[in-house]
Amino acid sequence: MSNLPEKPNAISNKVIDLLVDDTLRRNGIDPDNIKKKLSDQQKQQLKELVEDLTTQVNKFNNQSSTDK
């Protein structure tokens, strides 16, 4: 009987999207323009960063589940 959602990744992704979008807009940055200016190397680095963070979050979630 946990209060955790069945699909935490879906909620996490929505929160991340909201926070990133809000941060960019507060600083006067248009996300569509950024996408056009990123090099392929920068895009790859961002993808790797997201994958690493996702792995870390999943490990943390799995560790928290086994601790209970």
Q: pLDDT tens digit string along 11-67? A: 677 888 888 888 888 988 887 887 788 889 998 998 898 888 888 888 888 887 776
Task: For residue 46, give both structure tokens.
Answer: 């961002």
Is residue 6 over pLDDT 60?
no
- Phi then psi for 45, rounded to 5 degrees? -65, -40
What CA dihedral angle connects 9, 27, 49 and 19, to 10 degrees? -10
pLDDT, position 9: 60
